[in-house]
């Protein structure tokens, strides 16, 4: 039996809005799980139900074999880092860290040494006697982490803790959080809308959309084997190039056409043998998704020909924008590419990296 189990968890607000519909999730001890999704997808509501800050409409939450569905937050043995940090402004840093320990009736000596310990880990020893108002955002964030760390909780919850930090600080705190997790091995659930954060931190990512789980998997799985069209659209910067196409077979080659576009563009996807079981989709409409980094270019060769419209050099890589099926597709190439606007190129696509999604269910079409 897994450490934390969410059984068809559901949340309907009194005004009738259903924020979370049937969430089933199992999490192992020590895992760092990131719930990722756009705003309003129900990820924060799910986390708040885990914390006990939101009443559960239906379903149950089992933590370490104990049903905590209807327990008040204080009886759940959890810790949490809030979006606004919620570092109490009327207490010093030391008091902030010590307060939860006092509530657990620890003796003064233990509390003191515990505060010192976590303050050292979080590098806030110098600020212990300051008030939060005298600290910067990043320092307050560390206090929030220290406070959560001090209580040896069964479950550590983090509600977009990095969203109020500036970009540079965000990466460093990210590394810091990962380091802490490696050292403590605390089971952690981290909610964010930032995929870079999710991919960097997670052992497993849970992608949520419209109150439902779209996909659960490792960073690699989520990124390269998107289970649904939504995940493909959501993950990646820039996101995958997506087009609704109809497939035809032409001399053992799989060709994608856009029925509605006036462009008459057709994309050669490669040998049909690379797509076992594709037969039933021939002549059908299907969603085609290709990540920008999975497209390469060559001198014009007569197939998949298009012209470059915009070049965005990024230093380590270059993003090219071109028109495919009349819409803008992005191509990401390593290094600084010397190319001019208007230049004709042929697109080279690795058939193994092509993702196809059913037009109705929007789920991934699996071959083999």
Partner 1 sequence: MNRMRRAGFFKSPIWFLVPVIIYYAAFWIRPTISVIIESFTDKSGVFSFANYVRLFSQKSMRTAFLNTILFTLGSAILQFILAFALALWLNKKFRFSNLVLFITLIPMAFPPAAVGILWKTGLYRFGWINSFLCSLGLMNPANPVDWMSFRNLYAVILLIIIDTWTVLPSVMIILLAGLQNFNKEFEEAGWVFGANKFQTLKDIVFPIMKPTIITAMILRMIAAVQVWLIAVMIFGYNVVPFLVERIAYNVDVITFAKYARKDAYTISVIVAAIVLISVSIYLRVSGEKQKGGEIA
Q: Which is nearer to partner 1, 158 or 256 (CB)?
A: 158
Select from 14, 16, 315, 342 the one that contacts partner 1 (CB under 8 A). Answer: 14
Segment contacting partner 1 by CB under 8 A, of 108-116, 126-134, 264-272, 282-290: 126-134
Applying CB under 8 A, what is the total number of residues that bind partner 1? 31
Measured between alpha carbons, how far is 116 from 146 in angstroms, rounded to an integer?
10
Measured between alpha carbons, how far is 77 from 51 in angstroms, rounded to an integer?
9
Using CB under 8 A as the binding rule, the residues of this chain from 137 to 176 that contact partner 1 are 140, 147, 151, 157
328-337: which pairs have CB atoms within 8 A and are 24 or more residues apart? 329/241, 329/290, 329/292, 329/295, 330/238, 330/241, 330/292, 331/292, 331/295, 331/296, 331/297, 332/238, 332/291, 332/292, 332/293, 332/295, 333/293, 333/296, 333/297, 337/311, 337/313
Beta carbon of residue 72, minimum distance to partner 1 (angstroms, whole number): 7
What count of residues does the chain have? 368
- The reply on whether position 132 binds partner 1 by CB under 8 A is yes
- The reply on whether position 52 binds partner 1 by CB under 8 A is yes
Beta carbon of residue 14, minimum distance to partner 1 (angstroms, whole number): 7
- The reply on whether position 17 binds partner 1 by CB under 8 A is no
Beta carbon of residue 336, minimum distance to partner 1 (angstroms, whole number): 42
**E strands, the chain, where?**
4-12, 18-27, 32-36, 58-63, 66-67, 78-81, 155-159, 188-192, 204-209, 212-217, 241-250, 253-257, 266-271, 285-290, 295-298, 305-313, 317-324, 327-334, 344-349, 355-358
Tally of CB atoms within 10 A around 307: 12
Q: Which is nearer to partner 1, 141 or 215 (CB)?
A: 141
Q: Which is nearer to partner 1, 65 or 72 (CB)?
A: 72
Nearest to 358 by CA among 247, 236, 218, 208: 247
Beta carbon of residue 125, minimum distance to partner 1 (angstroms, whole number): 21
Strands 32-36 and 204-209: parallel
Beta carbon of residue 73, minimum distance to partner 1 (angstroms, whole number): 4
Element (DSSP H or E) covering residue 149: helix 137-150
Beta carbon of residue 100, minimum distance to partner 1 (angstroms, whole number): 4
Tell me if residue 284 falls in helix, strand or coil: coil
Q: Which is nearer to partner 1, 115 or 222 (CB)?
A: 115
Segment contacting partner 1 by CB under 8 A, of 130-138, 169-177, 185-193, 253-261: 130-138
Beta carbon of residue 52, minimum distance to partner 1 (angstroms, whole number): 7
Segment contacting partner 1 by CB under 8 A, of 19-27, 132-140, 249-257, 327-335: 132-140
Cβ–Cβ < 8 Å for 299, 346: yes
Cβ–Cβ < 8 Å for 323, 306: yes
Using CB under 8 A as the binding rule, the residues of this chain from 55 to 114 that contact partner 1 are 72-74, 78-80, 82-90, 99-100, 103-104
Q: Name 322's bridge partners.
A: 308, 329
Beta carbon of residue 53, minimum distance to partner 1 (angstroms, whole number): 5
Estimate to the nearest angstrom the gap between the alpha carbon of 76 and the chain centroid.
Answer: 26
Q: Which is nearer to partner 1, 3 or 82 (CB)?
A: 82
- The reply on whether position 317 binds partner 1 by CB under 8 A is no
Q: Which is nearer to partner 1, 42 or 132 (CB)?
A: 132
**Lookup result for tokens 């606007």:** 341
Q: Which is nearer to partner 1, 14 or 302 (CB)?
A: 14
Tell me what percent of the chain is helix, strand and coil, each rounded to the nearest 5.
30, 35, 35
Beta carbon of residue 175, minimum distance to partner 1 (angstroms, whole number): 25
Select from 27, 51, 93, 286 the one that contacts partner 1 (CB under 8 A). Answer: 51
Binding site residues, partner 1, CB under 8 A: 14, 51-53, 72-74, 78-80, 82-90, 99-100, 103-104, 131-134, 140, 147, 151, 157
């Amino acid at each position: 039996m897994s450490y934390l189990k969410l059984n068809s968890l559901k949340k309907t607000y009194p005004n009738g809005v259903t924020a979370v519909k049937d969430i089933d999730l199992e999490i192992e001890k020590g895992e760092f799980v990131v719930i990722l999704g756009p705003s309003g997808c129900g990820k924060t509501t799910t986390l708040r139900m885990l914390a006990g800050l939101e009443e559960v409409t239906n379903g149950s939450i089992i933590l370490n074999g104990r049903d905590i569905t209807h327990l008040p937050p204080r009886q759940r043995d959890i810790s949490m880092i809030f979006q606004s940090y919620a570092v109490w402004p009327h207490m010093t840093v030391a008091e902030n860290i010590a307060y939860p320990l006092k509530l657990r009736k620890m003796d003064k000596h233990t509390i003191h040494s515990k505060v010192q310990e976590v303050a050292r880990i979080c590098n806030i020893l110098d600020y212990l006697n300051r008030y939060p108002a005298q600290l910067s955002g990043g320092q307050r964030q560390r206090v929030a982490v220290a406070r959560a760390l001090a209580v040896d909780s069964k479950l550590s919850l983090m509600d977009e803790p990095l969203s109020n930090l500036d970009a540079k600080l965000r990466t460093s705190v990210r590394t810091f959080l990962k380091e802490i997790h490696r050292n403590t091995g605390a089971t952690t659930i981290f909610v964010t809308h930032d995929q870079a954060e999710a991919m960097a931190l997670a052992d497993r990512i849970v992608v949520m959309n419209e109150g439902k789980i779209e996909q659960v998997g490792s960073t690699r799985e989520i990124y390269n084997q998107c289970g649904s069209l939504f995940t493909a659209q959501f993950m990646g910067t820039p996101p995958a190039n997506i087009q609704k196409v109809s497939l035809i077979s032409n001399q053992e080659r799989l060709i994608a056409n856009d029925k509605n576009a006036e462009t008459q563009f057709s994309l050669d996807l490669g040998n049909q043998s690379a797509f076992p079981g594709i037969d039933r989709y021939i002549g059908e409409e299907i969603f085609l998704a290709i990540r920008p980094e999975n497209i390469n270019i060559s001198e014009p060769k007569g197939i998949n020909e298009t012209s470059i419209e915009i070049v965005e050099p990024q230093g380590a890589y270059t993003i090219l924008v071109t028109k495919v099926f009349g819409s803008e597709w992005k191509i990401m190439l390593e290094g600084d590419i010397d190319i001019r606007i208007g230049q004709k190129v042929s697109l080279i696509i690795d058939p193994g990296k092509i993702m196809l999604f059913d037009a109705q269910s929007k789920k991934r079409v699996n071959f083999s």
